[in-house]
């Protein structure tokens, strides 16, 4: 096959180039995910669910069985699949709105039940598809369509710390990390560990990926990367928050 | 018995009206008759007036609730007030005679209004726990939905495991059943 | 493989919730997803007690939104999955039911209607008829059986799985709090002894083989880009639904041949109507009763024919006109007078039907 160089094997070539905006972070997160699937050799076992919001554009992204669900509801759909087919590797892919706002009860409870699924969440500090409204992850002072004078934490609270929350409510067996599209190699490793955790049947796994939205941020390439690399990590600390203890030999 | 017999049993939560209703309709069902029992329940799990609507027939039974009963048994002041709506000129209305301040609330239009000292008998002669079995005996005597041996069989089926643990319970329950029947027999 | 939950056939005396759990077991349901709400709870209680003995699954979710969507996930995995709900839970579940309509996910949902609007009572109503038939943003591509006895509850839960998997529309068994909580006799049976074979299930996700190598991947969606694209998809749904409808629709008539007055009622109210018709006929009153078993699809032609010969229709329901709207829509064009007897959230007895019919003569 004449795949472009660097294209993960599990990507579906027929649906490339993908439908995301130029400069969007989703492509990089999905690249990391594709590489992780390839390296683990689980393409034939993966069931991929994507949310509403820009993440829905990934419904035909991979050569894996995929289902696009409703806003916030990917976690329960994928949970339903996993409970019915424990032999499948089930991935829920969503944005910050889907995971931390409209679907937060599902994320919290799937994590609390230690569902053996993997949730991958792209955090770009706003609602992209609906046109750049404030998200749970919008930064203090950040201008969005619904906070035109900047997000005032006194009125709308502070950015949701997703992995920190998930880490706090999960027990042993869970894997929780925050990566960034600014370091795809590290992000891929986190995602790979998350999937490996599911393969081993240890428990819930969750990776947040700091991601960019130049369209709604109205940023050029330089400012987009500055925001991802310098501004976002001030609020969202990159790294592993929780990993299962190494199994004794 | 061609007609459907309709019974409303009402008491305070904990008086055991629902379990008595369950045992009675179960006995009728075991005899191959059609029986329907619906507990009337509110939002709360405990407390409040509890009403059991029972119907026994030889044919399939229509709506699960009914407007007027053949027999109403009310075991508390609130139960009396709650159940007079199910009384008409064909209804036998039985209440416990120890309930105070209900003279004005008793139905005026019933075929018969009968006060029985079930609670007193339970406390003084038998055991407070078999109060509801006395009531069951009264209900069976008043309606003959099943006969006494079948009622005993039903008790055995429901409480047999307790009887095994404590053999004294069997005669206690059977006596209570018979006592309930006696209490109403002369008054019907 | 565990042995069959029910061998042959036997007479039992139990609550409707217990009936629903046994029926799902007998129908070879693989997994239930659910969230507690009265008066449906005991379906889960019995299922969680019985299902482990037969290697069936259960998940208690965080809410009915999740219960509906996890059920979708189970069905997409090729499992005979079901859920059950009532009242405000049914409201929350509507979102997932629209996904099931759009994506042809053949789930089964048992609804035990309680009083509304809002939290209201946990007891009884027929106030979830509109929502169960037409809830959510959509067109009501659903199958809804409205049952009236425990026997029907048992029969139609089993049948519901087969209807769902044959036609691939979400299928509802619409009961109510009375049916949930009351005890009466019925016969439960192994479907095979009645010649009923369970329709085979198939997965839409998690298929065998490596996608892109051995086969194309499954890429399932419910989002479309253009009006034209959506219109094509929905038109296909309409065509499939209309084609299936005559095969699915069910109804019953009682003494309608020469009836001057026809009582129209569904669900448990049909019991009162049937008893009332019997009593009134004994007095020589020419009254009959029409009872749709399926509210979706609705037996419109059949009702229209009977209504056209009657002098009067009386629509009776424990809701403020939800069923009445279906009836009027079905017989549009006729001039037969219609009387409404609405008791929102209240049971209707045969005694009051007899009284009402006589009073109107």
Which residue does chain C place closest to B33, by CA atoms?
Answer: C185
Rounded mean pLDDT, A100-104: 98
pLDDT band at C2 (very low <50, low <70, confident <90, very high): low
User: Pairing state of beta strands C251-254 and C287-292?
Assistant: antiparallel
Asked if residue B145 has pLDDT above 80, the reply is: yes
Residue in A62, A68, A77 closest to C217 by CB? A62
Which residues of C are less than 8 Å from A105 in CB distance? 62-63, 65-66
How many whole angstroms separate alpha carbon C349 and alpha carbon C346?
A: 10
Rounded mean pLDDT, C289-314: 98
Name the CATH topology of A13-242: Rossmann fold (3.40.50)
**Omega cis (within 30) before A183:** no
Looking at the structure, give the CATH architecture of the domain made up of residues C9-194: 3-Layer(aba) Sandwich (3.40)
Residue in B25, B41, B66 closest to C351 by CB? B66
ipTM, two decimals: 0.92
pLDDT band at A246 (very low <50, low <70, confident <90, very high): confident
Look at A70 and C30 and tell me if their CB atoms are within 8 Å: no
Rounded mean pLDDT, A30-42: 98
* Most A CBs within 10 Å, among C34, C60, C62, to test the A interface: C62
Residue A31 CB neighbour total at 10 angstroms: 18
pLDDT of B48: 78
Any CB–CB contact under 8 A between C206 and chain A?
yes
Per residue in B71-103, pLDDT (tens digit) is 999 999 999 999 999 999 999 999 999 999 999
Eight-state DSSP code of residue A62: B
Taking the CA of residue C40 and the nearest CA in chain A, the distance in Å comes to 21
**C115 within 8 A of C345, measured Cβ to Cβ:** yes
**C345 within 8 A of C120, measured Cβ to Cβ:** yes
Asked if residue B44 has pLDDT above 60, the reply is: no
Pick among 3.30.2000.20, 3.50.50.60, 1.20.120.420, 3.40.50.920: CATH of C252-359: 3.40.50.920
Which residue does chain C place closest to B62, by CA atoms?
Answer: C271
pLDDT of B116: 96
pLDDT of B40: 80
Any CB–CB contact under 8 A between A151 and chain C?
no
Any CB–CB contact under 8 A between B2 and chain C?
no
Asked if residue B41 has pLDDT above 70, the reply is: no
The sign of the CA dihedral A108, A112, A116, A122 is positive
Asked if residue C3 has pLDDT above 60, the reply is: yes
The answer to whether C and B touch (≥3 CB pairs < 8 Å) is: yes
Look at B64 and C268 and tell me if their CB atoms are within 8 Å: yes
**B87 within 8 A of B69, measured Cβ to Cβ:** yes
pLDDT of B45: 52
CA-nearest of C102, C95, C98, C79 to C33 is C79
**Omega cis (within 30) before C297:** yes
Asked if residue B1 has pLDDT above 50, the reply is: no
Any CB–CB contact under 8 A between A204 and chain C?
no
Domains and their CATH numbers in chain B: 5-185 (3.40.920.10)
Taking the CA of residue C155 and the nearest CA in chain B, the distance in Å comes to 17
Same fold, C9-194 and C252-359: yes
How many whole angstroms separate alpha carbon C202 and alpha carbon C165?
A: 9
Chains in contact with B, where contact means 3 or more Cβ–Cβ distances below 8 Å, are: C
Taking the CA of residue B70 and the nearest CA in chain C, the distance in Å comes to 14
More confident residue, B46 or A36: A36
Per residue in C272-286, pLDDT (tens digit) is 999 999 999 999 999
Collapse the DSSP code of C315 into the 3-class scheme (helix H, G, I; strand E, B; otherwise coil) and give the result. strand
End-to-end CA distance of chain A: give it in Å, rounded: 41
Angle between helices B17-30 and B131-143 (to 10 degrees): 40
* Most B CBs within 10 Å, among C40, C175, C182, C289, to test the B interface: C182
How many whole angstroms separate alpha carbon A95 and alpha carbon A126?
A: 9
Residues 49-78 of A with CB under 8 A from C: 49, 52, 56, 59-60, 62-70, 73, 75-78
How is chain C split into domains, by residue range?
A: 9-194, 252-359
Q: To which H or E segment does residue A95 belong?
A: strand A89-95
Q: How many helices (H) and strands (E) does chain B have?
A: 6, 6
pLDDT of A1: 46
pLDDT of A6: 76
pLDDT of A51: 97
Per residue in C32-87, pLDDT (tens digit) is 999 999 999 999 999 999 999 999 999 999 999 999 999 999 999 999 999 999 99
3-state secondary structure C207-238: CCCCECCCECCCEECCCCCCHHHHHHHHHHHH
Asked if residue A221 has pLDDT above 90, the reply is: yes
Residues comprising chain C, all counted: 361
How many whole angstroms separate alpha carbon A69 and alpha carbon A123?
A: 19
Per residue in C191-201, pLDDT (tens digit) is 999 999 999 99
Helical segments of chain C, H only = 16-26, 41-50, 64-76, 87-103, 129-134, 150-167, 177-181, 227-248, 269-282, 300-309, 322-330, 350-359
Structure tokens at C283: 């007095």
Any CB–CB contact under 8 A between C220 and chain A?
yes
Which residues of C are less than 8 Å from B39 in CB distance? 181-182
User: Pairing state of beta strands A133-134 and C81-85?
Assistant: unpaired
């Amino acid at each position: 096959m004449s795949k472009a160089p660097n294209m993960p094997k599990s990507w579906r070539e027929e649906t490339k180039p993908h439908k995301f905006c130029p400069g969007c972070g989703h492509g990089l997160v999905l690249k990391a995910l594709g590489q992780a699937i390839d390296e683990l050799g689980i393409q034939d076992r993966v069931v991929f669910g994507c949310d509403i919001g820009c993440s829905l554009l990934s419904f035909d992204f991979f050569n894996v069985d995929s289902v696009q669900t409703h806003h916030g509801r990917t976690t329960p759909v994928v949970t339903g699949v996993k409970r019915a087919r424990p032999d499948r590797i089930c991935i829920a892919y969503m944005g910050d709105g889907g995971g931390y706002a409209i679907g937060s009860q599902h994320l919290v409870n799937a994590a609390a039940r230690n569902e053996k699924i993997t949730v991958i969440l792209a955090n770009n500090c706003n609602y992209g598809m609906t046109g750049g409204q404030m998200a749970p992850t919008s930064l203090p002072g950040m201008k969005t369509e619904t906070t035109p004078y900047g997000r005032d934490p006194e009125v709308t609270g502070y950015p949701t710390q997703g992995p920190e929350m998930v880490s706090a409510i999960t027990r042993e067996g869970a894997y929780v990390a925050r990566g960034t599209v600014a370091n795809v190699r590290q992000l891929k490793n986190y995602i790979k560990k998350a999937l490996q955790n599911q393969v081993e049947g240890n428990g819930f796994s969750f990776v947040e990926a700091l991601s960019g939205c130049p369209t709604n941020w109205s940023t050029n390439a330089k400012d987009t990367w500055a925001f991802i690399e310098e501004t976002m990590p001030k609020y969202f600390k990159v790294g592993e928050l929780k990993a299962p203890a190494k199994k004794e030999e | 018995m061609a007609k459907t017999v309709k019974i409303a049993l009402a008491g305070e939560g904990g008086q055991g009206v629902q379990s008595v209703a369950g045992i009675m309709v179960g006995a009728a069902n075991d005899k191959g008759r059609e029986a329907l029992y619906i507990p009337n329940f509110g939002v709360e799990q405990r407390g409040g007036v509890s009403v059991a609507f029972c119907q026994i027939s030889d044919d399939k039974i229509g709506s699960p609730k009914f407007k007027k009963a053949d027999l109403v048994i009310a075991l508390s002041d609130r139960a009396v007030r709650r159940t007079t709506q199910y009384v008409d000129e064909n209804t036998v209305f039985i209440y416990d005679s120890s309930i105070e301040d209900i003279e004005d609330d008793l139905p005026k239009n019933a075929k018969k209004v009968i006060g029985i000292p079930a609670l007193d008998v339970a406390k003084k002669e038998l055991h407070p726990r078999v109060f509801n079995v006395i009531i069951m005996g009264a209900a069976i005597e008043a309606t003959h939905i099943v006969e006494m041996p079948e009622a005993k069989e039903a008790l055995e089926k429901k409480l047999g495991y307790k009887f095994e643990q404590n053999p004294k319970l069997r005669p206690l329950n059977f006596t209570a059943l018979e006592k309930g029947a006696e209490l109403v027999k002369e008054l019907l | 493989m565990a042995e069959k939950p029910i061998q042959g056939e036997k007479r039992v005396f139990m609550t409707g919730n217990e009936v629903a759990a046994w029926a799902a077991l007998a129908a070879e349901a693989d997994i239930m997803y659910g969230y507690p709400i009265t008066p449906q709870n005991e379906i889960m209680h019995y299922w969680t007690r019985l299902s482990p003995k037969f290697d069936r699954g259960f998940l208690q979710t965080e809410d009915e939104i999740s219960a509906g969507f996890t059920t979708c996930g189970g069905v997409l995995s090729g499992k005979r999955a079901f859920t059950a709900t009532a009242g405000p839970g049914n409201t929350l579940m509507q979102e997932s039911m629209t996904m099931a309509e759009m994506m042809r996910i053949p789930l089964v949902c048992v609804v035990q209607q309680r009083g509304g609007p809002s939290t209201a009572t946990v007891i009884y109503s027929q106030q979830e008829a509109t929502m169960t038939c037409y809830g959510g943003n959509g067109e009501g591509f659903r199958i809804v059986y409205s049952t009236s006895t425990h026997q029907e509850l048992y029969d139609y839960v089993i049948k519901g799985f087969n209807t769902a998997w044959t036609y691939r529309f979400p299928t509802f068994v619409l009961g109510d709090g009375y049916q949930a909580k009351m005890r009466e006799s019925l016969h439960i049976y192994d479907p095979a002894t009645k010649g009923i074979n369970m329709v085979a299930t198939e997965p839409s996700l998690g298929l065998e083989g490596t996608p892109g190598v051995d086969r194309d991947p499954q890429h399932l969606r419910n989002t479309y880009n253009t009006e034209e694209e959506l219109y094509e998809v929905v038109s296909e749904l309409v065509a499939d639904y209309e084609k299936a409808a005559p095969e699915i629709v069910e109804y019953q008539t009682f003494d309608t041949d020469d009836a001057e007055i026809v009582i129209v009622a569904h669900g448990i109210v049909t019991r009162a109507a049937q008893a009332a018709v019997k009593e009134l006929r004994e007095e020589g009153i020419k009254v009959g009763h029409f009872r749709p078993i399926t509210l979706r699809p609705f037996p419109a032609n059949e009702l229209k024919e009977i209504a056209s010969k009657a002098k009067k229709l009386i629509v009776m329901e424990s809701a403020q006109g939800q069923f009445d709207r279906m009836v009027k829509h079905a017989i549009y064009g006729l001039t037969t007078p219609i009387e409404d007897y609405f008791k929102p959230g209240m049971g209707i007895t045969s005694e009051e039907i007899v009284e009402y019919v006589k009073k109107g003569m």
